[in-house]
Amino acid sequence: MNTKVEAKTVYLAKSGEIFGPFPETEIEALRAEGSLRRYTWIWSGKWVPLDPAPELDPEKHSAPIADAGFSAVCHDFRNATRGTLEAVSARGCELWNAEEPMPTRFRKNSRLQVNVLNRKTGKAVNVEAVFVGLRRAARGWRYILEWEIFPQMIRE
């Protein structure tokens, strides 16, 4: 009787390119460090999207949840910026900094630590977000962020 248990191999893909095979332990390590989000598909017997389409109505959940009353400081442990949160949705937000003459240099898709402050209640929460882009505003800069986990304090 053969008691050897074979480790399952997993493949990843993005933009039509296949990567792997990876042992399941490496996939779990990639997931834990947040690197798995660089890929769009995973194969473990069949191709499955890593970020499936939401089941929720996009008209309701991409609409802004809060547009005033929240400030934030975000950093990547080297660089930092601060500002007001605008266009806050379940997916992410824009951090508007009207004071910086030059933008803080975050790498695209880098993970940021964000301290969100509700200026009305004085409550604060630390969350993680991904830096997805930067736009020049009439005054200052808008940092486009996507939440890793939505800060529930914003809904309260």
One domain for residues 45 and 65: no
Do 127 and 95 share a structural domain? yes
pLDDT at 52: 62
35-55 pLDDT, tens digit each: 787 888 888 788 888 876 555
Whether residues 16 and 73 fall in one domain: no
Quick check: is 55 in a domain? no
Q: What is the CATH number of the domain that holds 123?
A: 2.40.10.220
Question: What is the pLDDT of the chain when averaged over all its residues?
Answer: 82
* 8-state DSSP, 152: G
Residue 123 lies in a domain: yes
Residue with structure tokens 């509700």?
118
Mean pLDDT of 131-140: 88
**Residues spanned by the domain of 129:** 61-154
Determine the pLDDT at residue 54.
54
Residue 60, pLDDT above cutoff 50: no
Residues 66 and 99 placed together within one structural domain of the fold = yes
Number of domains in the chain: 2
Give yes or no: residues 65 and 135 share one domain.
yes
In this structure, the answer to whether residues 92 and 129 fall within a common structural domain is yes
Same structural domain for residues 65 and 108? yes
Could you tell me if 87 and 109 lie in one domain? Answer: yes
- Say if 3 falls within a structural domain: no
Q: Is residue 110 part of a domain?
A: yes
**Co-location of 87 and 34 in the same domain:** no
- Whether pTM > 0.75 for this model: the answer is no
- In angstroms, rounded to a whole number, what is the distance separating the alpha carbons of residues 146 and 90? 9
What average pLDDT does this structure show over 105-115?
A: 93
Predicted local distance difference test score (pLDDT) of residue 2: 47
β strands within the chain, DSSP E: 9-14, 17-23, 41-43, 47-49, 70-75, 80-86, 92-97, 111-118, 124-136, 141-147
The 9-14 sheet, strands edge to edge: 17-23, 9-14, 41-43, 47-49
138/65 same-domain check? yes
